Chain A
Amino acid sequence: MNMNRLNRLLNLIYRDLRIQFTISTVAWTLLSPIAFIFFTGMMMGALVQSVSINGQSVTYLAFLIPGIIAEQVLSGGLMAGWTVVADRREGDLEQILSMPFTRLDYIAAMLISMILFTLMYVSVVVVLASAISAINISLMAVLMMLVYLVAGTLIFGSIMLMIVTISRSYTAINIAGAFIASILIFASSVYYPINANTPVVLSYIAYSNPLTYIVNGIRQAFFGGLDPTSLFVMGLLVLLSFAIMTVVTLFYERSKTLL
């Protein structure tokens, strides 16, 4: 990457963060995982005493923490799409494209900003979860989680960027985003393990869902560590994320109007 492109990216990331990291955004980002861990963790924890991961029996809260992190990875990706919609509606996208930035600069900066945003949220979850002794986190687990976080945001962000370019209706995009999010979350192992008791059709859907691999990968990072299988899955997710991002980038670069 040449210096010019790097500067352009940094300048756009500055804009994204400056606009999105308001006091209220940061406050909600801090409050949201606290509420999530407290309500979902405690309520479900009262119903489900323990869950087995890699033969280890862990509390439901410990099981849920990687799910919360993965769900935020998905939300970060979706937010990238909604930010593009907002930029288009407010005229910001047209204004940015009339400045010395390429379309690739714009979407790359958007995705990187969302990765940083997700990182902030995830950091709060991890610190909180460690503080209440729900999980013990190692450096390797942090590194593995970072890979999943980046790959996941790129995958879901790219999918959403594609949807918002194809669809022009704000309402349609909102409904599509909510629909896709609920399918991805509930047809995955975010809230419950996918095992022999899972209906066959649902397990097929769950195993075709990248979110399942991200949740399982983060759980493996917390409760198992790096092994050849998780390394392979991680590699596949990284490849998938770059493949999808390349398709979206080409789509954006070749789109005639975009605005």
Chain B
Amino acid sequence: MKTENFIEMRNVWFSYRRNGEAVNGISFNVKKGEIFGFLGPNGAGKTTTIRLISTIFKPDKGDLNVFGLDSTRNGLEIRKNIGVVLQRESYEYNMSVFSNMWVYGVMRGIKAEELKKRIKYLLRKLNLWNKKSHKMSDLSQGQRRRVQIARELLHIPKLLILDEPTIGLDPIGKRWLLDYFKKLAKSGTTIFYTTHILNEAEYLCDRIAIINHGKIVKIGRSEDLKRSIEKKKFFEVEVNSNQDKLVEILKSYNIRIESRNGKAIAISSNNIDDVISALNKFKSSAHNSIERISSRHVSLEDMFIELLGDEHE
């Protein structure tokens, strides 16, 4: 595998017969060894893209190469070297953790001795060795997810594809998993990571593509993407009363209301003077008081909302 790009998509299209276009001419590359984040709201085309990369589906149009191989003609060869952690867990409820791993290892054609070693190694790495005899149905969702990940690492894949793997996990479980993916990438595994949770992508990924309605709307390093909207300033204003009045004044100055949460109103604007003027006007009208103003850093979430927010509404 000499190619530098593990995934190369060039103007790829795919549609479902019943539901119409799912992927509309997307193009991107994933480099060997990187963690590539694929972000988008629900129904944006993330899972379809995974199905295309894992060669379950063939593109209607366009070129898709994985490991430098044409996906339409080399599906079997490509699938030997990938692990796919799907959103649906697909495990056998009544079998033990070890047996589940064993069946998948046999399906992958791993010899018995090697398989025993790999299962032991992976279950230990993923803190599951003490659960090896437990039935899958007796595990927590986070533990089951870790078994699913361990299962997809049995054959030491060169490319690991993860479809929203942290859904349903608690914050500690999430962070543990993200750190494990980081370690995995350091050891040489390329990771294609889809999510709609932006701080995960920000924490984990080297580069990020944002997809919406089957189209890539932005692609780049997380920092670069944030910088593209950095001229915009973000504030949080807290007032005890007359929030509606404040919102009305802010809107009259073309200041964007990002969110409202109780007393707090999150706003953004390119012009800081407008913000000061609007707040002064609010203060002077009927002696309103402002409890607190704070500015905050641009997050990937801000950029996401900036790009997709209006469309979503």
In the bound complex, residues from chain B placing their C-beta under 8 Å from that of A15 are 103, 106-107
B77 CB, nearest partner CB in chain A, Å? 8
B56 touches A94 (CB 8 A): yes
**Interface core residue of B56, B75, B99 (most chain A CB under 10 Å):** B56
B25 CB, nearest partner CB in chain A, Å? 18
In the bound complex, residues from chain A placing their C-beta under 8 Å from that of B17 are 256-257
Q: A54 interface residue, CB < 8 Å from B?
A: no
A94 touches B90 (CB 8 A): yes
- The one of B51, B56, B76, B106 in contact with A11, judged by C-beta atoms closer than 8 angstroms, is B106
In the bound complex, residues from chain A placing their C-beta under 8 Å from that of B94 are 22
In the bound complex, residues from chain B placing their C-beta under 8 Å from that of A14 are 103, 106-107
B107 touches A12 (CB 8 A): yes
CB-CB nearest in chain B for A23: B94
In the bound complex, residues from chain B placing their C-beta under 8 Å from that of A171 are none
CB-CB nearest in chain A for B75: A102
In angstroms, Cα B76 to Cα A22, docked, is 31
Stretch at the interface among B79-87, B124-132, B251-259: B79-87
B109 touches A259 (CB 8 A): no
In angstroms, Cα B90 to Cα A92, docked, is 5
| 8 A Cβ contacts from B9-27 to A | 16-17
Q: B57 interface residue, CB < 8 Å from A?
A: yes
CB-CB nearest in chain B for A90: B90
Q: A132 interface residue, CB < 8 Å from B?
A: no
- Sort chain B's interface into a size bin: 20 to 34
In angstroms, Cα B58 to Cα A257, docked, is 9
In the bound complex, residues from chain A placing their C-beta under 8 Å from that of B117 are none
Q: A95 interface residue, CB < 8 Å from B?
A: yes
In the bound complex, residues from chain B placing their C-beta under 8 Å from that of A18 are 99, 103
B268 CB, nearest partner CB in chain A, Å? 40
B103 touches A19 (CB 8 A): yes
In the bound complex, residues from chain A placing their C-beta under 8 Å from that of B80 are 100
B79 touches A99 (CB 8 A): yes
In the bound complex, residues from chain B placing their C-beta under 8 Å from that of A90 are 88, 90
Given contacts A11-B106, A11-B107, A15-B106, contact A91 B79 (CB under 8 A): no
B119 CB, nearest partner CB in chain A, Å? 15
Q: A44 interface residue, CB < 8 Å from B?
A: no
Given contacts A94-B90, A98-B79, contact A259 B103 (CB under 8 A): no
Residues of A within 8 A of B (CB): 7-8, 11-12, 14-15, 18-19, 22, 90-92, 94-102, 256-257, 259
Residues of B within 8 A of A (CB): 16-17, 51, 54, 56-57, 75-77, 79-80, 82, 84, 86-90, 92, 94-95, 99, 103, 106-109
Closest 3 CB pairs of A and B: A91-B88, A91-B90, A98-B84
Given A15-B106, A95-B90, A257-B17, 16 additional A-B pairs, CB 8 A: A11-B106, A14-B103, A15-B107, A18-B99, A18-B103, A22-B94, A91-B86, A94-B51, A94-B56, A96-B107, A98-B86, A100-B79, A100-B80, A102-B76, A256-B16, A256-B57
List, sorted by A's number, 12 A–B pairs whose CB atoms are closer than 8 Å. A11-B108, A15-B106, A18-B99, A19-B92, A91-B87, A91-B89, A95-B86, A95-B90, A99-B79, A99-B108, A100-B80, A259-B56
